[in-house]
């Protein structure tokens, strides 16, 4: 099982949006996906509640008490986290993840907050880059403003992969409200959004053959 955590101490950066869309993407791809919501605001669980049974099932886990009871046979665990996590909790969270995705809005204030957060993650908690993959995703980008360029430079300087840029799009609002992911909204208007997810999917490099490999290794 692969464990992806979406993390940023700043509220409104797109953690729940990214967590739900990722869960949706891999569920559509045929993986058995669980979405654990560590946030007492329960945005991800609300999204799951709005989700029609027509769509591939995603197992919801309420983790706001910080315990994650994972159903058996889950291939992928996506973890959505709250803003302003206490230091001790943050440390505990980090150790539960194979991959950490940090969404950042390209505003000067958000970039400053992200700089502090990433510094803590790498230096204070010593996230091992060997055991944990870390990347940054720019979210709600309208145009490539000066703030966007500043974000790009900042992430590059830290040598953290700046994997993709998601545009500001009403499609995400629709998806949130309807329990869909961006990949389930038909029509051309989501084409650009779907395209923007591809670098992240590629970087995550998750394939559902892991279990087969493990089985064949045992033989």
Q: Which residues bind ligand ADP (CB under 6 A)?
A: 11-17, 43, 83, 139-140, 166, 168-169, 172-173, 176
**Residue from 2, 3, 10, 15 in contact with Mg ion (CB under 5 A):** 15
**Residue from 8, 9, 13, 16 in contact with Mg ion (CB under 5 A):** 16
Nearest distance, CB of residue 72 and ligand ADP, angstroms: 28
Q: Which is nearer to ligand ADP, 22 or 32 (by Cβ)?
A: 22
What, of ligand ADP, Mg ion, none, does residue 13 touch, CB below 5 to 8 Å by kind? ligand ADP
Q: Which is nearer to ligand ADP, 117 or 172 (by Cβ)?
A: 172
- State how far the alpha carbon of 157 is from the alpha carbons of 102, 131, 152, 161, in Å: 16, 21, 9, 10
Nearest distance, CB of residue 60 and ligand ADP, angstroms: 16
**Helix H segments across the chain?**
15-28, 43-50, 87-94, 108-119, 146-158, 170-178, 191-204, 210-218
> How far apart, in whole angstroms, are the C-alpha atoms of residue 137 and residue 18?
9
**Cross-strand bridge partners of residue 3:** 77
Nearest distance, CB of residue 155 and ligand ADP, angstroms: 18
- Angle (CA) 114-115-121 rounded to 5° is 85
DSSP letter for 83, please.
S
Nearest distance, CB of residue 185 and ligand ADP, angstroms: 13
Applying CB under 5 A, which residues contact Mg ion? 15-16, 43
């Amino acid at each position: 099982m692969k464990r992806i955590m979406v993390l940023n101490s700043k509220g409104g950066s797109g953690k729940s949006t990214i967590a739900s869309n990722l869960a949706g993407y891999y569920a559509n791809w045929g993986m058995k996906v669980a979405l654990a919501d560590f946030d007492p605001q329960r945005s991800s669980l609300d999204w799951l509640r709005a989700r029609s049974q027509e769509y591939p099932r995603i197992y919801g886990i309420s983790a706001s008490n910080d315990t994650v009871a994972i159903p058996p046979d889950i291939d992928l665990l996506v973890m959505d986290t709250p803003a302003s996590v206490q230091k001790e909790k943050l440390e505990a969270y980090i150790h539960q993840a194979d991959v950490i995705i940090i969404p950042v809005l390209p505003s000067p204030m958000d970039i400053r907050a992200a700089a502090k957060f990433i510094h803590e993650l790498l230096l204070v908690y010593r996230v091992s880059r060997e055991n944990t993959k870390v990347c940054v995703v720019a979210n709600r980008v309208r145009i490539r403003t000066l703030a966007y360029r500043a974000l790009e430079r900042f992430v590059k300087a830290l040598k953290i992969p700046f994997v993709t840029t998601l545009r500001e799009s009403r499609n995400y609002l629709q998806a949130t409200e309807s329990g869909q992911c961006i990949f389930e909204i038909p029509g051309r208007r989501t084409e650009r959004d779907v395209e923007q997810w591809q670098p992240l999917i590629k970087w995550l490099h998750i394939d559902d053959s892991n279990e087969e490999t493990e089985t064949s290794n045992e033989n």
